[in-house]
Each structure stands twice: as C-alpha cells, then as structure tokens.
Amino acid sequence: MAEDLVLDTAIRDWVLIPLSVVMVLIGVLRYFVSKLMRSAQIPDAKLVKEGQVIVRARNLRAAANFIPPKSFRARRLYYSNEENGLLYVPKGQAPNAQAQMFSDPNMAMDMMKKNLSMIIPQTLTFAWVNFFFSGFVAAKIPFPLTQRFRAMLQNGIDLSTVDVSYVSSRSWYFLNLFGLRGLFSIILGEENATDDTQRMMQMTGFGFDPTKSLGAEKDGLDIVQHDWTMPKFERRAEAVLRKLVR
Amino acid sequence: MVTKSEEEQLNRLEAQVDNAGGGAWEYLCLVRKLKVRRPDKVLKHGLAILNDSKKRSALGTEEWTLCEQVAVAAMDCQSLDVAKDCIKVLRKRFPDSKRVGRLEGMLLEAKGLWAEAEKAYSSFLEDNPFDQVIHKRRVALAKAQGNITTAIECLNKYLDTFMADHDAWRELAEIYVSLQMYKQAAFCYEELILSQPTNPLHHLAYADVLYTIGGLENLQAAKKYYASTINLTGGKNRRALFGVCLCTSAIGQLSKGRNKEDKDSPELQSLAVAALEKDYKQRAPGKLPLLTSALKSLRVSS
C-alpha cells in the first residue's frame, strides 16, 4: 500500500484550481442564462383559489368549536354540498396532471427551459472533466476515512490500494457541483443561489394534484363533530374572575 | 400582531433615535418588519439618512428599500414633494418596475386624483389579476372617496379569491358595522374567529355585534363570547366585563315571566361587577360613584 503518494504541484495548478474556478464560473453563467429565460409566471386563477379554499376549510375544521352550531352547519354546507360546494369535486372532472401538462404548451415549455439550463451545462462540464482530467488524483484530504467513502471520493480510479483520503478529479467535480451552493448564495445573493439539489426535489414532486387535497379536506370536514366550547368558557371565565376579585 | 416585547423594543429604539443616540437604520428596519405606522418618525429619520450621502452609500442596495419606505411615510404626512422626489429617484433606478408603479398610484391617491389612480390600478390588475396589494389599494381608494358600496364590492371580489386573508375579513366586518349591517358583520367576525381562535379582540367584537342584533338567542351567545374574552384576557378587558353585565340584564328582561331553565352561570355577572368595582377602585376611585349608579340602573348590582 502506497503510504505517501506525492502529488505534483502542477496537478494543483492545472487540475484542482481550474476545475473549481470553472465550476464557479459555470454556476454564475447558468444563473444569468436562466434569469434571461425565465418568463414571468402568472399563477393559475383556479389554483390560487383552491389553495385559499383549503386554508379556509382547514381553519374551519380546526376552530369549529369556537363558533355557534348554526354558523358551523351553514359553513359546512357551503363547503361540501354536492351541487356547488367549494370543496366538492365532481367525479371524472379531476384533471390528470400528466394530461394537463401536455395540453398546456406553456407548461411544457417552462419545464423544458428549466431542464435545458440544468442538464446541458452539466453534461458538457462532465464530458470536459472526463476527457481532460480522467484518472487524476487531484487532492488529499487531511484525515483518514473508511472504505465506504471510496465510491464518493475516488470515482474514476479503480484501484483498491490507494488510500481513501485521496480525491480523484472526477470526484472533485462532483463535490464542487453539489458543494458550491454556499458560495453561490454569497456571490449571487441569498435567494438566487442555483440549487440543483432542490430543483431535483421539485422535479420529483411535480404532479401534485390540488383536487385530491380538496377531496381530503371535504372528507375531514364531513366527519367533524361540532361541540360548541363557549358554554364551558362561561364557567372558566367565572373561575378567572373569582381569582381576580379575591 | 405586534407582541409586547417587540413593542417595548421599538419604543426603546425610538426614544434612543429621538435623542440623537444613533441606531436610526435599525429603528427603520424594525418599523418595516413589524409593519407599524409611525410616518412622522420614519419621515424624519429616513430623510436624514437619505440626505447624508455617506450614510446613504453605506446602505448599498438597501437604499432603495429605504426610499420606498420614506416615500410611503411622506404620503402619510402629506409631504407630497418628498414623496415625489423619492419616487422619481426610484423610477430612474427601476424604469419598468411594478412596485414603483404602485407607489405612483398611491401618490395620485394622496393628491386626490381619484380617477387617474383608479385607472392606474386597473391597468395593473389587467397585467396581473393576483396582485393583492393593488386589490387592497382599490378598496382604500373607494373608501377614501366615500364610495362604501364600491368598497364592499371590491372587497367581496377580492375575498372570493383570497378567502384566507383575515385582514380583509376584518376590514369588511368593520365596514359592515359602520353601515349597521350586523348580520353580515357577524359572519365576517365568525370567519375571523375561525382563522385566529385565540385572539380575544375578535371574540369581543363578535359579542358586540351579537348583542346589537338582539334577541334572546343572540344575547345568550353574546354573553358566552364576552365570557370567552374574559377568559382569554384574564379578566383585564373592561369592555367584556361591562358586556356581561349588559347581556345579563337584557336577558333578564327578555325572559321575565318565563321559566328560567338555563341558569348555567348565575354567578358570572356578580363576579364581573365585583371585578369592575375592584378595578375602578384601584385605577379611578373618582369615577366609582358613576360606575355604581350605572350598574344600578341596569339592576344588576346585587
């Protein structure tokens, strides 16, 4: 086992530093490009309203016991009657998210723009790193690590004898890709950081269906047992006052 | 809602700034964060910073935020020239910003050019029908002109979409009360209680409205809500204490001669009277005779 691999200073000057600098520059560039391509989004009227309906219905469910029974019944009817209740979704009318996406070209366009600004630079830089810097041992971290980290730190080097604390160039690329977020938030301002990981999360969360939560909210409202707490409060108020007067 | 500690902090900072102790920027930031309305102070100290080129450049991009804040405060104080200058600077920096456009609309409003302001707001709403601030400005505009029915219309339209906005519900409730449309106001207050069930002010206002509508059932409900206000404020709210007394006497009058089956809290009003008397003894002993005579006229001072 090679105890001490001596790393050439030229590797530092021509691999490690250029790689980091290029990654930062690409991040900044991508931010500006995506800013150019971003179209001002006007939220869909129905979506906005549905979100608000859900909030209001949730409030009703949570605080139902604070209003008189008559008012509660009127509200419940308003929300969940089968003709034009706010929470009532007619069967078969619930739109399929997938179908909606294809029927609305704008939506697909936005998705594509987002993806393009993310995927194209990534593939290009990855190809560039692979072509020029494959197989370099670019850096050494100053503490020992267990074998499990080999896949993370020595991507591209298929040697089991090299100590795990050495970092290969391709791994350095990945570390930069995901680790530069803090730096971007300093350079580009707090909320402007291009955050790949978060974007990926959004991608997977796509297809959220508000009509489903409308239905769930309606079911929740239907089973609420109304029990007006105010009569209890009278007795409690008496106790409060008794303490105050004494 | 501004909490007590936040208010204390604000007042401390204000005193410090007023006595030239520095910290003007922190004070302005806090005012902005808490959304309190102290236009005279904001105008004075904000303008001092804006006129000092060194301090101004030290703010960096925050300079524009301050400009906006000072412009709004200046409109509040009717120093329209200052507001105009601020807006001009902002317009130069952000040539096609909607936020600056909003300020310009407000300036038109401040000048009393209602029709032009209305036109500006409508064109903004055409661009983006979901701009909540513009919707609210339109309500304010209608109210300023004395067009209460238009204001109600606008608010209803706004609430049709943004129905979880409790501030709008409160505004609507207050308008309805001012027009003596108590049934509608009661609905709004119910909505407010639903969204903030632990805010005693909503319970109190709802009780007031119910008491005003009258009728045995409403009076009983009003009494219950006064009781819950007492509960939530720890008995510190005098209006609620008086309310309990009034409700009890009104209920007594209405249900005279009937069988008194619902006596769930017979002691409540005598306790409320005792609490009121104690409170007046402590804080305003001179007015105690007034209180006793008032309570006697209600025939509740047992």
pLDDT digits (tens, 9 = 90+) for B92-101: 888 888 889 8
Report pLDDT for A207: 44
* Domain membership flag for residue A205: yes
Alpha carbon distance A60, A72 (integer Å): 8
CA A192 vs. chain centroid, Å, equals: 14
* Domain membership flag for residue A14: yes
Put simply, the answer to whether A233 touches B274 (Cβ < 8 Å) is no
Q: How confident is the model at residue A204 (pLDDT cuts 50, 70, 90)?
A: very low
Q: Are A227 and B256 in contact (CB under 8 A)?
A: no
* Domain membership flag for residue A162: no
Alpha carbon distance B103, B164 (integer Å): 26
Q: Number of CB pairs < 8 Å for A and B? A: 99
Q: Are B272 and B244 in contact (CB under 8 A)?
A: yes
Q: How many CA atoms lie within 13 A of A59 on its CB side?
A: 21
pLDDT, mean of residues B198-211: 92
Report pLDDT for A209: 59
Among the partner-chain residues B193, B221, B268, the one whose CB lies closest to the CB of A238 is B268
Whether B297 and chain A come into contact, CB under 8 Å, resolves to no
From the CA of A45, how many Å to the nearest CA of chain B? 8
* Domain membership flag for residue A1: no
* Domain membership flag for residue A201: yes
Report pLDDT for B257: 59
10 Å CB burial of residue A245 (0-12, 13-18, 19+) is: middle
Alpha carbon distance A167, A174 (integer Å): 11
Report pLDDT for A97: 55
Alpha carbon distance B149, B170 (integer Å): 16
Among the partner-chain residues B197, B228, B267, the one whose CB lies closest to the CB of A238 is B267
Report pLDDT for B73: 92
Report pLDDT for A205: 43
pLDDT, mean of residues B165-183: 92
Q: Are B165 and B194 in contact (CB under 8 A)?
A: no
Among the partner-chain residues B130, B190, B271, the one whose CB lies closest to the CB of A242 is B271
Rank B70-79, B268-277, B284-293 by mean pLDDT and report only the highest.
Answer: B70-79
Q: Are B166 and B1 in contact (CB under 8 A)?
A: no
Neighbours of B63 (CB within 10 A): 17
Among the partner-chain residues B128, B268, B278, the one whose CB lies closest to the CB of A237 is B268
Q: What is the token pair recorded at A128?
A: 């560039």
Instruction: Give me the phi and psi of A124, to 5 degrees please.
Output: -65, -50
From the CA of A72, how many Å to the nearest CA of chain B? 9
Query: pLDDT tens-digit profile of A59-71?
Result: 888 888 888 888 8
* Domain membership flag for residue A161: no
* Domain membership flag for residue A102: yes
Which H or E element spans position A240?
A: helix A230-245
Residues 48-77 of A with CB under 8 A from B: 48-49, 52-53, 55-56, 59-60, 62-64, 66-68, 71
Alpha carbon distance B153, B190 (integer Å): 20
Dihedral angle at the C-alpha atoms of A7, A8, A9, A12, nearest 10 degrees? -60
Whether A236 and chain B come into contact, CB under 8 Å, resolves to yes
Alpha carbon distance B99, B85 (integer Å): 16
Q: How many domains does chain A have?
A: 1
Chain A residues touching residue B224 (CB < 8 angstroms)? 230-231, 233-234
Collapsed DSSP state (helix, strand, coil) of residue A137: strand
The identity of residue B79, as a single letter, is S
pLDDT, mean of residues A136-162: 83
Chain A residues touching residue B230 (CB < 8 angstroms)? 237, 240-241
Alpha carbon distance B77, B110 (integer Å): 10
Residue B258 vs residues A145, B252, B255: alpha-carbon distances, Å: 87, 10, 5
Chain B residues touching residue A66 (CB < 8 angstroms)? 193-194, 197
Whether B163 and chain A come into contact, CB under 8 Å, resolves to yes
When computed from its CA atoms, the radius of gyration of chain B, rounded to whole angstroms, is 25
Whether A242 and chain B come into contact, CB under 8 Å, resolves to yes
Q: How confident is the model at residue A38 (pLDDT cuts 50, 70, 90)?
A: low
Residue A103's domain comprises 9-135+167-245
Q: Which residues pair with A166 in a beta bridge?
A: A140
Among the partner-chain residues B193, B195, B231, the one whose CB lies closest to the CB of A240 is B231
Q: Is the pLDDT of residue B172 over 90?
A: yes
Which residue is it, tokens 């909030």?
A55
Query: pLDDT tens-digit profile of B46-83?
Result: 888 888 888 888 887 888 888 999 999 999 898 888 89
Alpha carbon distance B219, B251 (integer Å): 7
Whether B215 and chain A come into contact, CB under 8 Å, resolves to no
Task: Delineate the domains of chain B, giving CATH numbers in brackets.
Answer: 1-109 (1.25.40.10), 201-255+265-302 (no CATH)
Alpha carbon distance B116, B109 (integer Å): 8
From the CA of B99, how many Å to the nearest CA of chain A? 15
Query: pLDDT tens-digit profile of B102-135?
Result: 899 999 988 888 899 989 899 888 888 888 889 9
From the CA of A63, how many Å to the nearest CA of chain B? 5
pLDDT, mean of residues B179-189: 92
Q: What is the token pair recorded at B162?
A: 């943004």
From the CA of B76, how many Å to the nearest CA of chain A? 32
Among the partner-chain residues A52, A67, A240, the one whose CB lies closest to the CB of B164 is A52
Q: Which of A84-93, A127-136, A157-166 has the lowest mean pLDDT?
A: A84-93
Q: Which of A46-55, A185-194, B37-46 has the lowest mean pLDDT?
A: A185-194
pLDDT, mean of residues A140-161: 82
Q: What ipTM was estimated for this complex? A: 0.77
Task: Please state the length of chain A.
Answer: 246
Report pLDDT for B185: 93
Whether B268 and chain A come into contact, CB under 8 Å, resolves to yes
Whether B293 and chain A come into contact, CB under 8 Å, resolves to no
The identity of residue A20, as a single letter, is S
Alpha carbon distance A168, A173 (integer Å): 9
